[in-house]
Amino acid sequence: MATSSEPTFDLFIGGQEVPGHRGDRQVLYDPATNHPLGRVAVAGVEDAGAAMESAERAFRESPWARDDGARRGKALGRLASALEADLESFARLETENMGKPLRESRGDIGYVVRTLEYFAGLADKVEGETIPVPGARFDYTIPEPLGVTVHIAPWNYPLLLAIRSVAPALAAGNSVVLKPASLTPLTALRFARLAKAAGVPDGILNVVPGPGREVGEALAQDARCRSITFTGSGEVGARIAEIAAHRLVPVTLELGGKGPVVVFADADLDRATKGIGYGIFQNAGQMCWASSRLIVHESVRETVLERVRAIAEKLRLGPGLAEGVEMGPLVSREQVERVLGFVEEARGDGAKLLTGGSRVTEGELSHGNFVRPTVLTELPASSRALREEIFGPVLSVLSFSDPEEAIRLANDTPYGLLGTLWTRDLGTAHTVARRIDCGMIVVNEAPLTYPQSPFGGMKGSGLGFEQGRRAIAAYMRRKNVLVNLATSKR
Ligand code: NAD
């Protein structure tokens, strides 16, 4: 039961912590125990409007947009250093709020530091062009920030996925309104405070957690919104695309996945099986880029399955803050129901359970949202567990006899985010990488990315890319200036 003694968290608008127009607060629960963790202010439509207003005013009146990029880069660099200095407490807060093991949260916050550093370095390297045109004319382009950019983030990597797009938007000179997921707003709110201390002007970064359908839509629909970056489910992504189409604003969509991990007969099976385990059980499988479909050559199927089962059964489950924990709880009770619903349905369809498939119902962990690492085999092709994103620690297994079949199975999904290949043969690696319809392919490694590498999906996994040099251009417009240089006779 919630009491009034839990810490409270406010919205962050115009450089101020504010309780929100309606004064509503939502209780957040620790996913490891389901005990109340804190009470967070819930934004409504009025607060969304106030955040957009403050962002628009800051864009017009503060020097942020007009300053040269180097000054913005310096502020983002200071923010990166401040976050690095406070990494441990941010990581703890992320784990308390979302549940993942502290080791993973440290990695996530470190990734945010590197993302800020990367875009801080790029802030003064965005250049226009001069374009040759006939006669005494001078033609050039000027890159300019868009204005107010809206960022809507999910709960699985709360700060990382928010700042992945906020950092380039800020580096480009925009002002930002961020809506974190309602379940996991705490690190984003704290980050906004840190940004203010690092010299980001008031109103340039606003954070308004609240119900997506109400606050997210209000932000996207607002006439002051000049671009929308959405990371989340395909269903909501399609709705956001509709709003963007009506409003004629650019949109970046980072959506779900059903990642194939293809293991060829010649693969280093030791490394491959560790990579498979990491690719599906890290973050308790709550990853858009999870390797959730294992496609293994029939000659090594039994060996691989035996090793993956051993990894799954040895994983140490526990509260994210406990020492040595390898897999934490799922984010919420609803997520447990959803994940186990997929497993039950698959079994009803005739799938076999190699391991897992249940909640932990004994001991301390029974109070939290713990689901055992799960491996399903012999799924019928029509099974929803094979086709839809489960977003939990559930691996579905398929096998193949020749590379063409592996490619067909890998592409047999509405998604196309990240695919993983395991082979020692260079020719196989490069040829198959070209033929798999995913925005990202990783060879002989578990899913991996860096702030400097493009991140994005094909097919139902999204539209546009984040990260990398070009990401900053998504938050800028280009103006062409044509000048006639002829001097008129007097
Ligand atoms: P979700 O779509 O339910 O919510 C995402 C965000 O959108 C939340 O902040 C939510 O409050 C908001 N939202 C919900 N309805 C809205 C609406 N009608 N208008 C505007 N905003 C709205 O997704 P989730 O459950 O938070 O996250 C899980 C999903 O995110 C999975 O499908 C996962 O694959 C995807 N994801 C994708 C990536 C990627 O980079 N491709 C990364 C992480 C997660």
Report pLDDT digits (tens) over 134-175: 999 999 999 999 999 999 999 999 999 999 999 999 999 999
Q: Which residues carry out catalysis? A: 254, 288
Our answer on whether the CB atom of 216 is closer than 6 Å to any ligand 1 atom is yes
- Give the separation between CA 125 and CA 152, rounded to whole angstroms: 27
Give residue 36 CA to ligand 1 midpoint distance, Å: 23
The pick from 150, 221, 231, 448 for probing ligand 1's pocket by mutation, whose C-beta has the most ligand atoms within 8 angstroms, reads 231
Between CA 331 and CA 328 the distance in angstroms is 9
Produce one character per residue of 394-429: b if its CB has 16 or more CB atoms within 10 Å, e if not.
bbbbbbbeebeebbebbbebebbbbbbbbbeeeebb
Residue nearest to atom 26 of ligand 1 (CA): 154
Question: What pLDDT is recorded for position 3?
Answer: 52
What is the Å distance from ligand 1's center to 378 Cα? 30
Rg of the chain in Å (alpha carbons): 24
User: Amino acid identity of 155?
Assistant: W
pLDDT digits (tens, 9 = 90+) for 36-73: 999 999 999 999 999 999 999 999 999 999 989 999 99
Give the tokens for residue 284: 């308790």
Biggest alpha carbon distance in the chain?
A: 94
User: Which residue has its alpha carbon closest to ligand 1 atom 13?
Assistant: 212
- CA nearest ligand 1 atom 37, residue: 255
Q: Whose CA is nearest to atom 22 of ligand 1?
A: 212
**Residue 376, φ and ψ in degrees, nearest 5:** -110, 135
DSSP state letter for 488? P
Task: Give the residue ranges of DSSP H helices in 172-268.
Answer: 186-197, 217-221, 234-247
- Does the C-beta of 231 come closer than 6 Å to ligand 1? yes
Residue ranges of the chain whose pLDDT lies below 70: 1-5, 489-490
pLDDT of residue 487: 81
CA of residue 255 to ligand 1 center, whole Å: 7
pLDDT of res. 490: 62
**What's the CA-to-centroid distance between 399 and ligand 1, angstroms?**
31
Domains and their CATH numbers in the chain: 8-255+463-478 (3.40.605.10), 260-451 (3.40.309.10)
Ligand 1 atom closest to the Cα of residue 455 is 40
Q: Is the CB of 40 under 6 A from ligand 1?
A: no
Residue nearest to atom 17 of ligand 1 (CA): 213
The SS3 call for residue 389 is: coil
**Can you give the pLDDT at residue 5?**
67
Q: Is the CB of 254 under 6 A from ligand 1?
A: yes
Q: 101-119 burial string, b = 16+ CB within 10 Å, else e?
A: bbebbbebbbbbbebbbbb
- State the pLDDT at residue 48: 98
pLDDT of amino acid 1: 46
Packing angle, helices 186-197 and 158-171, rounded to 10: 30
Contact 7, 36 (CB under 8 A): no
Q: How far apart, in whole angstroms, are the C-alpha atoms of residue 159 and residue 165?
A: 11
